[in-house]
Structure 1
Amino acid sequence: MKIIIIGAGEIGYDLASVLSKEKHDVIVVDREKTCLDKVSENLDVLCYEGNATSAKDLVEAGVKDADILIAVTSIDEVNMIASMMSKRLGADMVIARVRSDELSRPNAPLKSTDLGIDVLIHPEQSAAQEIVRLIKRASASDLINLADGKMQLIGLRIGKNSPLTGKLISEYAQEFPDITFRVTAIGRKGLTIIPSGNLRIQALDQLFILSKTEDIPAIIKTTGKPDIEINRIMVAGGTPIGAMIARILCNEEKKWNIKLIEPDYDTAVELAQELKDVLVLNGNPTDPDLLATEGITDIDAFISVTDDEESNIISCLMAKHLEVKKTVALVSKSDYIPLSQTIGLDAAVNKKSAASNEIHRHVRGGRVISVTALQGIKAEVIELQAAPKSKIVKKPIHQVKFPEGCVVGGILRNDSIEIATGQSQVNANDRVIIFCLPEAIDKVTSLFQ
């Protein structure tokens, strides 16, 4: 496919890297030559220096023949104008990243389709929802909903005193026959492992375990982690993500005790007027005296989502030092994710990876229902639907020639879900959850066509 990416920032670069490796014809458009130089030096893609809001530049970049146009600049208005013009110039599918929720509100006067946008990506909302899920499952470092929420993939750090330390994966499964689960991936000292039954679990391993959603609390107990009760939450930063987190929590049945710290006075006043059930404070969320005054030692969870990722990390480390049970930091650099738990954070969320995952799913299309990159390790979760005449159907899984570096996790058939074994069989139109290394994705996807 011919894919044009407008914006050579972190998301644009990441998408160009992945899509070019998949042998798509990728063209990156940006007005900043320095950004394009980084792309052209490292990736096998074409670059075009031009203005995304100029019809002349879009035509010269080849928008008329584009199968997909992806607008991911840092400015909403540029993405919207570029999308509208590109659609009228002939682009088949238009995907745009828009930070504001103006177009997605129920009573919005303009819809995304009015601007020629086929798929609207809202990374802030995705990040806020992920943080709320992590707060609800306080022992988890990662939590991903799969199969319409019927299954969950949970990331758990194995402590030195965990009862699982030193056990084989097969022994772990045999010890808990009443719980159906699958260890699908392990992060170990910067390496990503798709495990077999004879792999031994080590202290500080990051285990990614797939299970039915109702079995997740039991899974957490098997690792020896305490069942943490979260009631009092402090949010550092009244950014769009911070405000969304507060709104989501206020709409929950459970009544949370929420404090939100925002350094800008006017923003703090606006949030205080909107969020009636939240105590909004005007101050610096990295100020130890302010945190102490506001009772951070009595807080169960500390969430830092300011625009300064270093401040997010530092304030979370301070909170952890003061024995806060759960800390979550928003980071934009993907390199910080694997380091986050090493230095003492419980979880780190990257809103740009949420945008990349959503865009990648639409680019792949076909039988792909979802694609999610696991943070901190080089593995992806793919949810695929089996075509009636595909190679995956009508035979046990152990007879299917899967590429190296992948494992089948679960099968969703109508309303029933099954954790896959070698004897499991995939039927036509079943949805199958697969975990694999990036280099195996194309081969796995072809089995379902």
Structure 2
Amino acid sequence: MDLKIIILGGGSIGGSVAKELSSEENDVVVIDNNDENLEPIKSVEGIQTLFGNGSSPKMLEKAGLDESSLLLCLTDSEETNLLASLIGKEKFNAGRIVCRLKGSEYKEIAEEITPFVDFFINPEDLITEEIKDLLHHPGALEILDFAEGKIKLVSVYAKGSGILVGRQIKELKDDLPEYETRIPALYRDEELLIPTGETIIKEGDEVFFIADEKHIEDVTKELQKLESKYKNVYIAGAGNIGKSLAKKINDDFNTKLIEKNVEHCERASEELDGILVLNADAADKDFLSSEGIEECDVFVAVTQDDESNVLCSLMAKKLGSKKTITIINKEAYFDLVGKNELDIIISPVQITVSHVLKYIRKGSVSNVHKVKKGMAEAIEIIVDSSYQKLKGKIISDLKLDENITIPALKRDKDVLMVHGNTKIHDEDHLIVFYKDKDVIDNFYNTFR
């Protein structure tokens, strides 16, 4: 049976989440009191749009909210999101509720007044944490957390300078005898591959590997010469994301925050101690040159406008910034800019969708992350009563095909790399990498 998903807010986050989830044959209803937000998604198959106040009991009733529904409160208004969560549970007994907060004063009391909310999501906070991780690990394109941060799924480009490039994956253990890692996927020639030990790493591959925090660099140097640690970071955009990121990284990097809007600039200066805030257009060639852009290790574009982010990143790169990290909301822009033009692209939509998917995938799920614009997913499942038939099984007996692999697991406090003879225990957390939703659905149906 299709899941009924009711989304409050059809803006850049809510509308894009709706499109993503409707593509999986869910029954999606989007409520928004701004018709401009609803217009682009009205014609999308599988989405019903309702114009009105998302926290109105009448509107929630019209949307069909009940105990089997998933309610996603994703509007820009925290008051609306919290009120809708309250009404959704008290009046309609909504099955599961995800509520978006933006790190304001509500964060402290939200859990007290709405303790039944399954997950409070703050996309801005998730984005800044991801960017902070990338700044601390030069060369990484993406770093995804599993098992409460104990397991990392990292992607990097294979370059000619890498020790393993041109060799088989199974030779990795000769280079790193003291530490086990796994490579669950490669992205090559616009195709995602689940490799074997015999697979040869080629220059230009995007390689996904499993590691813990302290061994990311050890594995990275197998695939490319290690980059120098970053020192100078320029941030374009002093909105919530820009200010939060500057605050989080300023102790570790020389940080400059650039903002075109005078009021936003003044507000940021008041809020941020010890951070240089510059009132300027981050895409202005003369300004960037005068601020020594050639000394910039990473230029991070996090304004609220995709076009501005792309333009100022391209300009910074052209003028000598060593690396760019660019936030892009609209999927159309992804295909317009290639990997040679922008180094790292962050999608707030993909991050939000990933955190919502754990309430949609079957069984007991701790984490789900989409990779390569949804070409594959990595999921952390808990071996409990929902995966009864996995208990006591040997990995090789699962007869997994080329579309799915289990590279690692967490058992109690230990992280183990999986082998063919690894036995699955009750309450293990399995990291499963698979190519599409049908694969994990079949896996669940086989072992539930």
Structure-1-length-normalised TM-score? 0.88
Work out the CA distance in 2 between the residues paired with 1:446 and 1:20.
22
Secondary structure, in 3 states, of the residue corresponding to 1:63? coil
Work out the CA distance in 2 between the residues paired with 1:315 and 1:62.
44
Q: Is the 8 A contact 1:180 1:419 kept in 2?
A: yes
1:67-82 alignment runs, 5 A limit: 67-82=69-84
Per-residue CA shift, 1:382-420, capped at 9, x if unaligned? 011112672222122011133651111111111111111
Per-residue CA shift, 1:192-224, capped at 9, x if unaligned? 222223333232211111123221111111113
1:300–1:47 CA distance, 2 compared to 1 (3 A): closer
Secondary structure, in 3 states, of the residue corresponding to 1:382? strand
2:266 to 265, 269, 274: 269
Secondary structure, in 3 states, of the residue corresponding to 1:273? helix
Secondary structure, in 3 states, of the residue corresponding to 1:269? helix
Work out the CA distance in 1 between the residues paired with 2:417 and 2:6.
39
2:99 match: 96
1:75-224 alignment runs, 5 A limit: 75-90=77-92, 91-104=94-107, 106=108, 108=109, 111=111, 113-114=113-114, 117-160=117-160, 162-224=162-224
Q: Is the 8 A contact 2:26 2:46 kept in 1?
A: no
Q: Which moved more, 1:396-405 or 1:80-89?
A: 80-89
Unaligned runs of 5+ in 2: none
Shift of 1:289: 1.2
Q: Is the 8 A contact 1:4 1:66 kept in 2?
A: no
Shift of 1:234: 1.2
Per-residue CA shift, 1:53-76, capped at 9, x if unaligned? 433222122124553211223444
Q: Is the 8 A contact 2:182 2:417 kept in 1?
A: yes
1:357 to 354, 364, 368: 354
1:33–1:229 CA distance, 2 compared to 1 (3 A): closer
| % identical equivalent positions | 29
| Partner AA of 2:99 in structure 1 | A
Shift of 1:364: 3.6
2:290 match: 293
Unaligned runs of 5+ in 1: none
Secondary structure, in 3 states, of the residue corresponding to 2:359? helix
Work out the CA distance in 2 between the residues paired with 1:116 and 1:393.
31
Shift of 1:112: 6.7
Shift of 1:327: 1.7
| Partner AA of 2:98 in structure 1 | I
1:52 to 51, 54, 62: 54
Secondary structure, in 3 states, of the residue corresponding to 1:29? strand
Q: Which moved more, 1:164-173 or 1:382-391?
A: 164-173
Q: Is the 8 A contact 1:340 1:348 kept in 2?
A: no
Work out the CA distance in 1 between the residues paired with 2:225 and 2:303.
29
Secondary structure, in 3 states, of the residue corresponding to 2:145? strand
1:416 match: 414
Q: Is the 8 A contact 1:158 1:223 kept in 2?
A: yes
1:222–1:101 CA distance, 2 compared to 1 (3 A): same
1:407 match: 405
| Partner AA of 1:249 in structure 2 | I
Per-residue CA shift, 1:68-96, capped at 9, x if unaligned? 21122344444344333323321233222
| Partner AA of 1:95 in structure 2 | V
Work out the CA distance in 2 between the residues paired with 1:400 and 1:67.
33
1:443 match: 442
Q: Which moved more, 1:285-294 or 1:132-141?
A: 285-294
1:63 match: 65
Shift of 1:284: 0.9
Structure-2-length-normalised TM-score? 0.89
Q: Is the 8 A contact 1:3 1:66 kept in 2?
A: no
Work out the CA distance in 1 between the residues paired with 2:74 and 2:112.
15
1:243 match: 243
Q: Which moved more, 1:397-406 or 1:167-176?
A: 167-176
Secondary structure, in 3 states, of the residue corresponding to 1:441? helix
Shift of 1:340: 5.2
| Partner AA of 2:263 in structure 1 | D
Work out the CA distance in 2 between the residues paired with 1:447 and 1:13.
34
Per-residue CA shift, 1:105-126, capped at 9, x if unaligned? x4x5x55734974422110000
Work out the CA distance in 1 between the residues paired with 2:103 and 2:407.
36
| Partner AA of 2:341 in structure 1 | G
Per-residue CA shift, 1:159-205, capped at 9, x if unaligned? 35544443333344555444311111112232222222333323221
Q: Is the 8 A contact 1:233 1:300 kept in 2?
A: yes
Work out the CA distance in 1 between the residues paired with 2:21 and 2:135.
33
1:163–1:114 CA distance, 2 compared to 1 (3 A): closer
1:441–1:293 CA distance, 2 compared to 1 (3 A): same
1:306 match: 303
Count of aligned pairs: 443
Secondary structure, in 3 states, of the residue corresponding to 1:155? strand
Work out the CA distance in 2 between the residues paired with 1:442 and 1:336.
31
1:342 match: 339
Per-residue CA shift, 1:345-371, capped at 9, x if unaligned? 221111222211112213447410111
Work out the CA distance in 2 between the residues paired with 1:145 and 1:437.
19
1:430 match: 428
Work out the CA distance in 1 between the residues paired with 2:442 and 2:290.
56
Secondary structure, in 3 states, of the residue corresponding to 1:303? strand
Secondary structure, in 3 states, of the residue corresponding to 1:307? coil
Work out the CA distance in 2 between the residues paired with 1:173 and 1:331.
38
Secondary structure, in 3 states, of the residue corresponding to 1:372? strand
